[in-house]
Structure formats: structure tokens, C-alpha cells
Amino acid sequence: MIWIWLIAATLIVVLTPRFGLLAFYKVWKSAKEREQLEDALKHLLDREQQGRHASPESLAGTLNLSRAKVTRLISDMEAQGLLETRGTQLHLTAEGERWAMHVVRAHRLWERYLVDEARMPLNKIHGEAHRREHSFTDAQLDELDAALGHPTRDPHGDPIPTREGKMPSVERMPITARQAEGPVRIVHIEDEPAIAYEQILAAGLRLGQVIRMIEKTPQRVVLSDGEAEYRLAPAVAANIEVEPLPESEIAKANAISLADLPDNQPGEILQLDDAVQGFTRRRFLDLGLTPGAIVYPELGNFFGDPRAYRVRGTLIALRKDQASQIWVKEVHTETP
């Protein structure tokens, strides 16, 4: 009799509609199918933004699926009105593009959060953002977007789609394709392949940095920010995309960071660094650290960090890594 009761108990645990193992398996299977479908939508959108179109072969390679499984996936997506097949090409429908934009928006907002607030290393955020991107509704993304201060770019420099599903246009080119001389700003660092991305980060290059290309040969590309030189293989350097330096950035070239402002020397804020995004940017603005504000270094710290500053009549403390992201020029005025 005992074994009958054990079998019955096992069946209850496995087959209970809401809480049994079978129920958990169904939930897991549904989540995996949604993730696979959304990854397929992102692949199609990425191809279309490159001026190309996906194919069953490219989809199979990206998702690491057999041709039979890809054929079933394409059939399911066609039935849902997400894509159309034209010969060997796969095309997103309007609904497919809307859904794909939602996933891209979720991914890039999560990457912004993981860097700005979770302080996760840049080379770790892609996988974590990919894990989280499949579970948020539009309303939840709107809340995250607002909490982050409505950032326009992710930590790699890619534009973040709007809540209406529009992708802001970005004019940029690989540093290796640039012919004109003069300073440029890094606006995007491609994170694939991962090995090239890690080499760029290890070299010390970052988003928003102002650089010049001082040498380009078939063997190497040498970049400089005025203080250090960065030597990369051309194939690696091609993952760095830049834009010409605007007038505001030219002014910053003659500025110093707030962290380098001498004691008792007031400074006028010129701008916040482009690397300051999300909650951190909003906090800086809430503290009165806006362009044109005068900042006075005041109380020192025995250990040197954090340092106290007076701005708009309020005393605040900033760590060195925070102050280094605020660009100022020295001014001659009386200390209050």
C-alpha cells in the first residue's frame, strides 16, 4: 500500500495544474519560446538596419538552430503576422518591427541601468541585459526609462528606441574610415566580437573620449587623447565609431575636470561628460551641477576622497570618479 501512496503523491506533485512540476515546465517552455522568437525579431531588425535582409540560413546561424526548427519558427512567426517570406528573404511586418523595437529598447535600457546603477563592468552587461530584456511590458519599460532620466544612448553609444518605437538616427563612422584630421569623439564601441571589445576596454578607451588618429598602417592604428597613446590592430580599431567634435567639445578641450580643480579655486561648469547618464546624471542636475553654475572646492578630506564643494549655496560631497566627469573652467571671482 505504501508504494501506491508514494505514486499517488508523486503524481500530485508532478501534475498539479498550478504548482506541479508539469506546470513549471510549461511556464519555462513558454518563456524559452518567447525568448527565441524575440531573438529572431532582433536579428531581422538588425539586418534591415544594415540595409540587408535576413534569411533562414542567417537566422539558423544566429539562433544556433537546425534548419527544421528554423522552418517551424518562421512558420509560427508568419502565422502571428510578425514576418513575411519573399523568396529567400525574411521581412518584418509593421507589428514585427514594433515588437523588435520593444526588445531592443528593453535591452539597451537594461544595459544603461547595469552600468550606471549596478556598476557592472562593461564587458559583463550584454549577457545580463539579454536575460532581462524578455520579461518587461511597455509600461514597465516606461517606468525604467523615466527612472533613468530618459537616456538616449546605451553604454556602447547605440541609440535607444523611443516608447513610440522610433530609432533615433546617429551619424558616425569607424575611426579607420575617417580621412580628415582633427579631434573626434568616440560615440560607439561595438561589443561583438567580444575579444575585440575587451581589447578596446583593456587599452583604456571609452565612450565619449576625445581622440585623434596619429598613425594608420596595415599593421596598426595609433590613437591619442593628448596624454596617452593607444595602439590597436586595424581590425580591432574598426569597432570604434566616431563623430566630428562639435563646438561644445572644442571648448571642453581647454577645460579641466572638477576633480583637478585646485583648492580654493572656483570653477564654472561647462558640461557633464557624455559618460554620465541615467540616475547619476539626474542626481548631478538635482544637486545644481548644471552648465554655468559656479563651484567652490571647500573642505578637504584626510584621505582625499570624497571632496566637498559648494554649489548654489549648498555644500555637497563628490567622489573623485564623480568629479572627474564634470568639466569646468577656472574663474576669477570672490569666494562667498
What does the pLDDT average to over 100-126?
A: 89
Percent share of the chain, pLDDT over 90: 34
Residue 22 has pLDDT above 80, yes or no: no
Output the CA angle 274-277-282, nearest 5 degrees.
120
- Kindly state the cell numbers that stand for 178: 575617417
| Each residue's pLDDT tens digit, 251-268 | 556 678 888 888 888 999
Question: Which residues are within 8 A (CB) of 185 and not within 5 positions of it... i.e. 6 or more apart?
Answer: 208, 209, 210, 211, 242, 243, 244, 245, 246, 249, 274
Residue 148 has pLDDT above 50, yes or no: yes
What does the pLDDT average to over 240-246?
A: 81
Domains and CATH numbers, the chain: 2-92 (1.10.10.10), 173-245 (2.30.30.90), 251-330 (2.30.30.90)
CA distances from 98 to 83, 94, 138, 161 (A): 11, 6, 11, 10
Please name every residue paired with 58 in a beta bridge, in sequence order, or none if there are none.
Answer: none
What is the reported pTM?
A: 0.63
Residue 3 has pLDDT above 80, yes or no: no
Q: Give, rounded to a whole angstrom, the gap between the first and last alpha carbons of the chain.
A: 89
Q: Is 147 exposed, middle or buried (0-12, 13-18, 19+ CB in 10 A)?
A: middle
| Each residue's pLDDT tens digit, 289-333 | 998 899 998 866 666 678 899 998 899 999 888 888 898 988 875
